[in-house]
A and B are shown apart, each in its own frame.
Chain A
C-alpha cells in the first residue's frame, strides 16, 4: 500500500509545480461560472415556478462545479499514461512490482486532486463573499458537508475508473482519440456538466441519475447544496458505490486479459 501512496505523493507534487496553469484555470473558472449564473438567471426571471432548484442552490452548484472542475473534468486524461502507452515506455510500468491498474488509477487521482487543490481555494474563498443569491452558500449542515467530502472523493474515483477504460482502449488501438472525444461529449452531458441534472425532464432524469456519470460530479454537489437529502441521498450514495465497485472490477479484469497480449514494440 505504501508504494501506491508514495506514487500518489510524487504525482501530486509534480502537478503542483504548474502554478501558471492553475492561475489561468482560476481566471477561466470565474468567468465561466459567472456566465452560467447569468444565463440561469435569465431562465429564473422568465418563470420562477418552473425552476427545479432554489437559485441559491443553483449558485452553489455552479461555483462548486467550477471550484472542483479539475476533479471532474471528463476531457482531461493523464497524458503521461496515454503517452507511455503509445511510446512504449509503459514497459517501465510493467517492470515494477506493482499492479498496473492501481498504479494508473493512483496517478490519475493524484493529478486531478493536485490540480483541484490549487484551483479550488481562490474560487471558494471569493465566491463565498458574493452577495446572495449569486454566491456560494454554506452547506446545509455539518453532516451534509461531511457527506459532500466523502461523495466527492468517491465521485472522482468513479470518474477515474471510467477513464481507465479509455487507457485500456488506448492499449488496444494505440490512438484512442476518437473514443476519447465521444466519451468526453457524452459524459459531459450525462454528468450534468452542461445542464444540471435537476433541469432534465423527470423520466429521463431518473434514468440519467442511475448512470455512473451522475455518480461522479453531480451527486456531491447536490448533497452540498441541500438539493437532495435523507433517504433519497442514501439511495444515490449506494448507486455511487455500486458503480465504483462495478467499474473497478470489470476494468481490472479487462486490463489483465489485455496485458497478456500486450507487445511492447521496438528495441
Chain B
C-alpha cells in the first residue's frame, strides 16, 4: 500500500547572527546551513493498518507526511502510495487520500460547513449516492447535525476538528493522513475523534497514518508505531516493543508520616532516584533491571515512616522521553 525506500530530504536554512554587522553582511551574501530532515527513511505499510508516527519536534514527521501526500518533492529515494508516486502524479493521486492537518483548516472560513462539504463533493467528483450516505454516517457518528449550517469561523475548535475529519473522509479515501488531529481538543472531543477513526478503519479498511505528540492517541488507536528521530526511523514495532526499549522504569509513590528524606543519599544510588518530594509524599523512579522493588522499599523505609505505597508502570510519555534520551534525539 505505502512504501518508502531511502527517502532523503535536505532543507536549506538561512542563518545569521543578530548583530548589525552580521545583518549587514547577510544583505550581500547569505549563509546557508543544510539540514537533513530525512535521511534514508524506508518503511512499508499495509492496507488497513493504523500506524502511529511519533518523534520529537523537528524529527521529520511532517516532512514524511508531506512527501507521502504529494506536496513535497524529496531529494532522492522512492515512494509509492497506492501504486503511484505522489508528487509526480499529484492531481490523480490526491483523490485517493484524505489529509487532516491539525493546525491548518481545509474548510472554507466564510461559508457554512455544509457548503464546504458540497464543494468537496464536486471537487472529488463524488457521486450523489456515496456522498449522501457518507454525509449521513458522518453526521450521526460525529454529531454534526447542529453545526452543519454554521459558518466555519463560528465553530469551536472541537466542532471544527470534527468537521475537518469528516471533510477528509467524504470521498472514501484509501489512505488517511492525520497530522496531530487531536491538538488542542478537550477530553470529550478527543475521545469522539479517536473512536471515529477506529471505526472508519474497521469498516472501510482505510489505512491510517497518525502523527501526534499525544501518547493517549497512540495507546487508543495504533498497533504499530514508527519512531523517527533526526530524520531516521529508529524503531518500527508494536507499542509493547516500544515500551521495552524505553526501559524498565516503575514509578513508586510513597506516603509517609515523619522521618526525613536525605536527598544526597539518593543521588548516587544505581537504579533508584527521587523525582518529587512533598510534605507527606515522595515519588521515586525505579529501574527494575537494576534494583528490585522490595530492595528499594527497604532503602526508603530507613529514612521514612511509610504509611502507604503504590507502584505503577511508567507512563508512555516518560517511556517516549526515555527513548528520546536513549537515541539522543
> Which A residues form the contact surface with B (CB < 8 A)?
2-3, 5-7, 10, 13-14, 17, 87-89, 91-92, 94-99, 260-264, 266-267
Contact = CB atoms under 8 A, between A and B. Distances in A.
14 contacts: A6-B118, A6-B119, A6-B122, A7-B119, A10-B115, A89-B105, A97-B92, A98-B91, A260-B73, A261-B73, A262-B71, A263-B11, A264-B72, A266-B62
Contact of B72 (A3, A14, A87, A263): A263
* Smallest CB-CB A-B distances: 8 pairs: A6-B122, A14-B110, A94-B71, A92-B106, A3-B123, A97-B95, A267-B62, A3-B122
Contact of B69 (A5, A13, A88, A95): A95
Interface string B101-134: 1011110101100011011001111000000000
Nearest to B61: A267
A171 B87 CA distance: 18
A48 to B, nearest CB: 51
B81 to A, nearest CB: 13
Nearest to B108: A10
Contacts of A96: 94, 123
Contacts, number: 75
B145 to A, nearest CB: 22
A97 B70 CA distance: 11
B179 interface: yes
A111 to B, nearest CB: 11
Contacts of A261: 73
A88 B103 CA distance: 10
Contacts of B69: 95
Contacts of A262: 71
Contacts of B104: 87-89, 91-92
B198 interface: no
Nearest to A87: B104
Contacts of B119: 6-7, 10
A220 B94 CA distance: 40
Nearest to A88: B104
Nearest to B58: A267
Contacts of B180: 267
Contacts of B11: 263
Given A17-B110, A263-B11, A267-B61, 13 more contacts: A5-B122, A7-B122, A10-B108, A13-B111, A14-B110, A95-B94, A97-B91, A97-B92, A260-B73, A262-B71, A264-B71, A264-B72, A266-B62
A260 B125 CA distance: 26
A38 B106 CA distance: 49
Contacts of B62: 266-267
B18 to A, nearest CB: 20
A94 B90 contact: yes
A267 B57 contact: yes
* A7, A17, A88, A263 — most chain B CB neighbours (10 Å): A263
Contacts of B123: 3, 6-7, 96-98
A95 B99 CA distance: 8
Contact of B106 (A2, A95, A266): A95
Interface in B124-178: 124-125
Contacts of A99: 91
A37 B223 CA distance: 75
Nearest to B103: A267
Nearest to A91: B71
A75 B132 CA distance: 42
